[in-house]
Structure formats: structure tokens, C-alpha cells
Amino acid sequence: MATQIVMDHSGDTRHSFDPQDAAAIAQAEKRFMELTGAGFMAYKRTGDGQGEVLRGFDASAEETVFRPRLVGG
Amino acid sequence: MRRLLETCERLAREVLDRFPEDPPRLGRTLLVASGYGDDTELRVEWSNGLRQRVSLDIWDARRLRHPPEMDQFRERLLSCYVELMQAHVDALRRRRARENGETPAPDAIVRTLGVRFDRDLVAILGDAYLGSVGTGPAAEATGGLTIDAILEQVRAAEAYMRPSRNMTASELRAREAEYFRSVQERLARGEDSVEFRYLGGYRWAERDWRRERDARDEAERRNHYRARAEAEHRGLALLREWLTPEQRAQYDAHRWFEVRGSHSGKTYRIRHGEVQNVFALDGEGREAQGWCFGPAGGLVAGDVMLAQKLALETDEKDALAVANQFFTAEMVTMFTERPERSDRSWRFMGIPVHFSARVRAAFARPAPAWANAVGASCEQHFGNSRGG
């Protein structure tokens, strides 16, 4: 199962989907597009503690985290 | 003023002509915040007379002591009176509509009147307060009524509301329940003001209502803090999942961890916190420059630190482009204390800094007392501002 993790006020919200299920993948891609369109940045987990920016939807990513856009403090 | 009085006359005639079967005694009591830490009651009554119908609670009358403001106050009071009478007419119309099986229009006047009169009352009375019952101004304010007449009205109203004997416990409970129900109904209708003054000795309903409200507020606070604590826990769990083993060990030991910038290769220290918690380290591992940035939306500390880590490790330039800089305690100390190095050469963010002869001479002198004081206060401030 692949997971999309979205940072929010509750800590995070996780959406799991089966990468073998075409319908689930379509839904995950739609979620990816909506979040990145809203300013979220997506990162794919590549190793232990390492992340990589995702510019487009990657169905093979096992774990993707979405963070809101950055602002100065 | 004349127009207002004419309007009063017209409305009074309309009420009497259109609704002759309704009781002549009409009135309304507004409870308005006076700005004195207590609620002020304004009672506007309407009976068979006309110009003497506007009366003030005695508590208001004691505050009126500025003759130049009397006309203004009386005019505004009459204006409120007109609106209240209009509200009565509307209420009677609604009652008639209900009796005829029609859907009455909502009552829109009284809800705003309390707020408007609150503002007017505070603006006119200001902080004026007359410790004892006045004579002239208060009488003027009530359209020719004397203080004695006002007191008589208050006594009559209190006698009307209070029983002539003490109630039994069961009567008291029944009265409390009845009043409590009426308060709940008024609150459910969304009315802005609820009158408690003439409850007299039966304030139990008010007390119970306040107790219930406080308990509800406390429950909401507890739920908020519980949800926040759970969010904090989830945020930290997610952060730990995404830290390298070294970063995790650093965080467990110090409540901070270090990351390497993707473009400059600089080392940044991210302390536990949500604001002012990112520091660029110099060649000696000191926190030389502070950077303040984070994800939008007021997220919990774990999410903020993870977003900072990912941003610096993958897109350092973009992160620093939105970040604001702030002085670290080390920087403040550097410029307010005499340097200890013999050669007086400094490095700032890895760059050698050469001071002029004049600056070197300044450093050779003992630092003035104010400089050390500034350094200490800044260090205290920035030390406290760090998270954790």
C-alpha cells in the first residue's frame, strides 16, 4: 500500500491506496494535482531520512508527504 | 426633537387604533453594557401617557451630571423609544399574523437596538459618575420627571416584581424554573440582551445558567487542548519517521538536529519549535545567523520542523528567499563584548572581517556598560524565543 501524507492542523492526514488499482491511482493522482495546485509541495521518501521533490505524480512512490507553501516568519 | 415626538404620537395612536384589545401597558427593558464593569439597565415604558413614558433606571440617572449633554441624551433616548414603539407595533403585527395562521416576519429591530444604545450611552456619559442621586440634570433627562417620580416608578416596578411575602422553597424553585426557561427561550431566539435585574432574590437561575455556560466553555477548552496535544504527538511521530538516524539521535539528545543545505552545503541547525528556530552554523559550529520561515497555516512543531528540513535539504534557495533573518545570541554577543583574540581578526559566516584601526581602537577599550546590558537582554530574549 502506498501512502500520501498531508500536513494539517491535526498533525497529518494519511491516504492509503493500492498501487495496483487503477481507480485508486487515478484518485491519488487527482489528490496530488489538487494539493500541488493549492501550493503544497510534494516529497517522495527515497531512503532513511531522505526526501526528493516530486514535480509530478509518481505512482511508484511508497510514501509521499505534502507540506504547505513556505512563508517567512 | 419635534419630529421624534410626532413619530411617538403617531405610533402610539396606531397601536391604540389597530390593537384596542391589547393591554395598554407596554414596555421593554434593555440590559446594556455600561463600560463600568457592570450592566446598566434602561427601561422604556409606554402606557396611557406619552411624554412621561420614558424613564431611566435610577442607576443611570445618577450618572447624568453634564447639562450640555442632556439635550443630546434625551434626543437619543427618544430615538430609541421610537424604535421600541415600532418594535411593539411589529410584535403586535406578528402576533396577529400568527393568530391568523400566517408566517410572521422576523423581529429585526430589537436585536440591534441594544448594541446601538450601548454605544450611544457610553459615548454620552463617558466616565461621568455622580456618587449620589442628582436633582436638576436627572430630572431634565427624563422629560420633566423628578427624581422622586423616578424613584416612585422604580419602587412600583420592584413591588410589581417582588411578592409581598417571602416565597416558600417550592415556590422559589418553581419561580426559578420558570425564569430559567424564559432565559433559555430568549437565548435560543438569539436575543442579544437578557434581563436579570428584576429577578430580585431569585438569581439562582442566573447562577445555574452561568455555571452551565462555564462548564461548557471548560469542556470546549479541554477538547481544544486534547486535540492540540494529539496533533503535536502525530507531528513529532511523522518527523521522527523522516529523520536520518543521526538526526534522530541529535534530536533525542538535544531537541535539535542538523541538516545540510542543498545549494550552499552549509549546515543548519533546526531547534524544536515553530518560529525563529533555524540557525546557519559558522565554521566553528556556532549559530551565526538565524532564519525564520515555515509552512503556512499554523501547523504543529513536528510538521514545521519536517517542512524546514525538507525545504533546506532539497531547495535551500527557495526556502531562504522567503525567510526572514534574525540575530542570534552569539551575534549580539560578538558585537557587544570585547573580542578575546589577540589578532582581532574575525570571521562572519565564514568570511574574514577586517576591522579598521578606529574599530580596533574601540575594541581595545573596555565595552561600555550599556553594551553589556544590551547583550544580556538580547541573549535572554533570543534564548527564550527558541522553541522547547
CB contact under 8 A, A10 and B227: yes
Q: Looking at the 3D structure of chain A, how many domains does it have?
A: 1
Top mean-pLDDT range of B24-28, B153-157, B366-370: B366-370
Strand-pair partners of B39: B33
**Percent of chain B topping pLDDT 70:** 32
CA–CA separation, B25 and B46 (whole Å) = 6
CB contact under 8 A, A11 and B314: no
3 state SS of B132: coil
CB contact under 8 A, B303 and A11: yes
Answer for the pair B64, B81: CB distance below 8 angstroms, yes or no: no
CB contact under 8 A, B299 and A68: yes
pLDDT (tens digit, 9 = 90+) per residue, A10-66?
899 999 999 999 999 999 999 999 999 999 999 999 888 889 999 999 989 999 999
Q: Is residue A72 part of a domain?
A: no
pLDDT mean across residues, chain B: 62
- Which DSSP helix (H) or strand (E) runs through A50? strand A50-54
Amino acid at B33: A
Give the chain B residue nearest A70 (alpha carbons). Answer: B295
Question: Nearest Cβ partner of B276 from A41, A49, A73?
Answer: A73
| DSSP character at residue B297 | T
pLDDT at B350 over 60: no
Residue B216: CB atoms within 10 A of its CB come to 10
3 state SS of B381: helix
Q: What number is the ipTM of this complex?
A: 0.96
Residue B240 forms contact with A (CB below 8 Å): no
Find the domain containing A11 and state its range: 2-67
Q: Measure in Å the smallest separation between the Cα of B307 and chain A Cα atoms.
A: 6
Q: What is the CATH number of the domain that holds A13?
A: 3.10.20
Residue B2, exposed/middle/buried by CB under 10 A (0-12, 13-18, 19+)? exposed
Q: Is residue A73 part of a domain?
A: no
Strand-pair partners of B30: B42
CA–CA separation, B60 and B54 (whole Å) = 13
3 state SS of B343: coil
Q: Is residue A12 part of a domain?
A: yes
Q: Give pLDDT, residue B258.
A: 95
Residue B258 forms contact with A (CB below 8 Å): no
Can you give the residue ranges of every domain in chain B? 2-161, 166-242, 243-385
Residues of A in contact with B276 (CB under 8 A): 73
Question: Nearest Cβ partner of B297 from A12, A50, A68?
Answer: A68
Amino acid at B110: V
CB contact under 8 A, B306 and A65: yes
**Residue B233 neighbours by CB under 8 Å, 6+ apart:** A11
Q: Is residue A50 part of a domain?
A: yes
Q: Measure in Å the smallest separation between the Cα of B255 and chain A Cα atoms.
A: 17
Strand-pair partners of B29: B43
Instruction: Name which residue leads in pLDDT, B357 or B4.
Output: B357
Q: Which of A7-11, B196-200, B244-248 has the lowest mean pLDDT?
A: B196-200
Q: Give pLDDT, residue A65.
A: 95
b/e map B292-330, b = 16+ CB within 10 Å: bbbbeeebbbbbbbbbbbbbbbbbbebbbebbeebbbbb
Q: At what angle do helices B169-188 and B204-242 cross, to 10 degrees?
A: 50
**Residue B346 neighbours by CB under 8 Å, 6+ apart:** B334, B339, B352, B353, B355
Residue A51 forms contact with B (CB below 8 Å): yes
Residue B263 forms contact with A (CB below 8 Å): no
**Residue B370 neighbours by CB under 8 Å, 6+ apart:** none
Residues of A in contact with B323 (CB under 8 A): 70, 72-73
CB contact under 8 A, B323 and A73: yes
Q: Is residue A60 part of a domain?
A: yes
Give the chain A residue nearest B242 (alpha carbons). Answer: A49
Looking only at Cα atoms, what is the longest distance across chain A? 42
Q: Give pLDDT, residue B108.
A: 47
- Ramachandran region, residue A68 (left: φ > 0; alpha: ψ -120 to 50; beta: rest): beta
Q: In chain B, where does DSSP find H-type helix? A: 2-18, 58-61, 67-99, 109-125, 136-141, 147-161, 169-188, 204-242, 245-254, 301-314, 316-322, 329-336, 357-364, 369-385
Amino acid at B140: E
CB contact under 8 A, A51 and B314: yes
β-strands A41-47, B278-281: how paired? unpaired
Q: Is residue A7 part of a domain?
A: yes
Confidence grade of residue B235 (pLDDT, cut at 50, 70, 90):
very high
Confidence grade of residue B231 (pLDDT, cut at 50, 70, 90):
very high
CB contact under 8 A, A67 and B295: yes
CA–CA separation, B315 and B274 (whole Å) = 19
Q: How many degrees, rounded to 5, is the angle at CA B331 between CA B325 and CA B337? A: 155
pLDDT (tens digit, 9 = 90+) per residue, B289-302?
889 899 988 899 99
**Percent of chain B topping pLDDT 90:** 17
CA–CA separation, B79 and B72 (whole Å) = 11
Residue B322 forms contact with A (CB below 8 Å): yes
Question: Nearest Cβ partner of A12 from B234, B315, B319?
Answer: B234
pLDDT at B342 over 80: no
Q: Is residue A33 part of a domain?
A: yes
